[in-house]
């Protein structure tokens, strides 16, 4: 079990990183990314603290904590600059808060996040065919969300990803203890979006690839 989009109390989540990590360890997670909501006002506060938490907690946990960030409601024109800044600060997973159908995200955010080269475009709503094709070109993963409201367009995202060959991830977008997905529930999210058993297994392999990518970042410093 891997989840690459969760939140702690550095933004609107409920838990400190240590408890967050412990709770998913008990659920059998191999890796979890904390990707708190950020814009230019708070990235320099959140990311160094998550980097520090990961360095201190990982030697004592069976689950690897990955420091990340979710660029949230930022103006599309700022996505490239803030993505680069997040990586410079040490974010190993950069999530772009996509144009979910239940929030007033600025039009053009999906494309801006993809063009900026985020790792994951979260809950991208009614993403266009052209933007999905660009995600393939840029190597950006599209998210199937376990979060209420955001999950409403999972079927559309999965169908479009299949059509263009885009890679998918399944994440909880967890904000508290009751939000964490078990392995069985994560599979329900994927299969409920219309994925076959083999397609869901491919999602798991893609998520493993992302985790390995971040592990290589640790080795190179």
Are 200 and 190 within 8 A, CB to CB? yes
Distances (CA, A) of 173 to 77, 95, 162, 170, 180: 25, 11, 22, 9, 8
Taking residues 172-185, report their average pLDDT. Answer: 97
Q: How far apart are CA 114 and CA 98, in angstroms?
A: 10
Helix ranges, 94-182 (H): 109-116, 129-138, 154-164
CA distance 36 to 134: 25
- For the segment 199-216, the average pLDDT, to the nearest whole number, is 94
Domain 2-220 has CATH 3.20.20.140: yes
Write out pLDDT tens, residues 108-153.
999 999 999 999 999 999 999 999 999 999 999 999 999 999 999 9
Residues 24, 62: Cα–Cα separation, whole Å: 10
Structure tokens at 158: 């999965």
217 pLDDT tier (thresholds 50, 70, 90) = confident
Judged on CB neighbours under 10 Å (0-12, 13-18, 19+), 163 is: exposed
pLDDT, tens only, 38-92: 999 999 999 999 999 999 999 999 999 999 999 999 999 999 999 999 999 999 9
**Residue range 9-18: average pLDDT?**
97
pLDDT value, residue 72: 98
Task: Convert 114-145 to b/e letters by CB count within 10 Å (16 or more is b).
Answer: bbbbbbbbbbbbebeeebbbbbeeeebbbbbb
Residue 215 has a pLDDT of 84
Residue 216 has pLDDT above 90, yes or no: no
SS3 of residue 97 by DSSP: strand
How confident is the model at residue 181, as a pLDDT? 98
With bands split at pLDDT 50, 70 and 90, how would you rate the model's confidence at 220?
A: low
Tell me what pLDDT residue 221 has.
Answer: 59
pLDDT of residue 37: 98
Structure tokens at 117: 């080269």
DSSP letter at 12 equals: T
Share of the chain above pLDDT 70, in %: 99
């Amino acid at each position: 079990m891997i989840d690459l989009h969760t939140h702690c109390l550095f933004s609107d989540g409920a838990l400190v990183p240590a408890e967050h990590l412990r709770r998913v360890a008990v659920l059998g997670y191999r890796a979890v990314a904390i990707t708190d909501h950020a814009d230019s006002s708070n990235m320099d506060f959140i990311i160094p603290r998550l980097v520090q938490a990961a360095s201190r907690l990982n030697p004592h946990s069976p689950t690897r904590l990955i420091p990340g960030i979710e660029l949230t409601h930022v103006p599309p024109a700022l996505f490239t600059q803030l993505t680069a800044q997040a990586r410079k600060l040490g974010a190993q997973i950069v999530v772009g808060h996509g144009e979910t159908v239940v929030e007033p995200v600025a039009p053009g955010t999906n494309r801006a996040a993809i063009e900026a080269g985020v790792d994951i475009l979260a809950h991208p709503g009614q993403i266009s065919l052209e933007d999905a094709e660009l995600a393939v070109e840029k190597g950006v993963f599209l998210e199937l969300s376990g979060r209420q409201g955001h999950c409403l367009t999972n079927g559309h995202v999965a169908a479009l990803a299949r059509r263009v060959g885009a890679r998918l991830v399944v994440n909880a977008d967890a904000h508290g203890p009751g939000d964490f997905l078990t392995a069985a529930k994560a599979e329900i999210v994927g299969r409920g979006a219309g994925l076959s058993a083999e397609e869901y297994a491919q999602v798991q392999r893609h998520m493993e690839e992302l985790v390995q990518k971040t592990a290589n970042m640790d080795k190179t410093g």
